């Protein structure tokens, strides 16, 4: 199974690390730390040094309750960093957005991947831009918006319903010209789910393999960990590591995290235990 992005193809003999680079003032964990392009660039190099195979840039917070920002504001935060990174970093760049205008502009400025946390529910035209540029597309499961999503966690069958809704997102993407091998899926830990539902998703993650696409998981420092440990975001590292290792054992391929070094090290050990003849953690990338 491969994932084709703009100019880069990933294979999945090994798990891949996606480092989070938030360019927002209000993200739940690191909001405001990397608004300055110089600080963002330093963090990008730090994430790569720690083992990130992909950088994911977000210029609009998607935390529960976050208010939407204009396309102009999102691009004002994003482009000064994206333009510098594309010239200076060796890894593919992903942009976390739900807006087709932002996605198209980001791709024009050198992004390789669009990470749509709405799964094309908010702006299906985003898929047209992805198809035209031959970019990678992350389709995450979410109902509603950041302001409404936690009111939309009623499911008849959590795993079945999330799978069905992701399948519909894939169909929409394909109808706009995105090929299946450009798509990966994310079940949306922390989005439109209760803490208990997030734990259930992780427990049954392998069931999403039926969709036939690589699986991205984003458990990093989220509130479901606090439901177990009662810890604040800055104390949720070990919970993130535990969730990531179990997700890996259940079939996750890409790990979107703040703390690349810690999760990477834990996965190195988990991989060595589970598959002793492949002890190194390297995603395969071809230009």
Q: Is 175 left (phi over 0), alpha (psi -120 to 50) or beta?
A: alpha
Paired residues of 26 in beta bridges = none
Is 222 a known active-site residue?
yes
Catalytic hit among 193, 213, 222, 236: 222
The H or E element that residue 131 is part of is helix 126-133
* Cα(248)–Cα(273) distance, integer angstroms: 12
Q: What is the DSSP string of 184-252?
A: EEE--TTSS--HHHHHHHHHTGGGGGGG-S-BEE--TT-HHHHHHH---GGG-HHHHHHHHHHHHHTT-
| Burial classification of residue 119, based on how many CB atoms lie within 10 Å of its CB (0-12 exposed, 13-18 middle, 19 or more buried) | buried
* Cα(57)–Cα(78) distance, integer angstroms: 8
The Cα-based distances of 141 to 4, 187, 210, 244 in angstroms read 20, 5, 15, 18
Residue 12 and residue 1 in contact, taking contact as beta carbons nearer than 8 Å: yes
Catalytic hit among 193, 236, 256, 264: 256
Length of the chain equals 287
Q: Are strands 284-286 and 8-11 parallel, antiparallel or unpaired?
A: antiparallel
Using the Cα atoms of residue 273, residue 279, residue 282 and residue 283 in order, give the sign of their dihedral: negative
Residues classed as catalytic: 222, 256
């Amino acid at each position: 199974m491969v994932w084709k992005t703009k100019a880069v193809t990933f294979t999945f003999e090994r798990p891949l690390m996606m480092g989070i680079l938030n360019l927002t003032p209000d993200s739940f964990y690191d909001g405001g730390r990397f608004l300055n392009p110089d600080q963002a660039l330093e963090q990008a190099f730090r994430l790569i040094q720690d083992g990130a195979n992909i950088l994911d840039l977000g210029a609009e917070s998607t935390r529960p309750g976050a208010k939407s920002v204009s396309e102009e504001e999102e691009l004002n935060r994003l482009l000064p960093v994206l333009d510098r990174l594309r010239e200076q970093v060796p890894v593919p760049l992903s942009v976390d957005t739900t807006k087709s205008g932002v996605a198209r502009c980001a791709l024009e400025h050198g992004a390789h991947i669009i990470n749509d946390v709405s799964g094309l529910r908010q702006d299906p035209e985003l898929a047209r831009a992805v198809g035209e540029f031959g970019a990678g597309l992350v389709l995450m499961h979410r109902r509603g918006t950041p302001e409404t999503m936690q009111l939309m966690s009623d499911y008849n069958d959590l795993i079945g319903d999330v799978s069905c809704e992701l399948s519909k997102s894939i169909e929409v993407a394909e109808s706009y010209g995105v090929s299946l091998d450009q798509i990966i899926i994310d079940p949306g830990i922390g989005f439109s789910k209760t803490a208990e539902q997030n734990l259930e998703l992780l427990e049954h993650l392998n069931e999403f393999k039926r969709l036939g696409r690589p699986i991205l998981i984003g458990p990093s420092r989220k509130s479901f960990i606090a439901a177990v440990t009662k810890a604040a975001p800055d104390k949720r590292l070990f919970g993130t590591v535990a969730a990531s290792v179990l997700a890996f054992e259940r079939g996750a391929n890409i790990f979107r995290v703040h703390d690349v070094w810690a999760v990477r090290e834990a996965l190195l050990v988990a991989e060595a235990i589970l598959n002793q003849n492949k002890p190194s953690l390297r995603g395969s990338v071809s230009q």
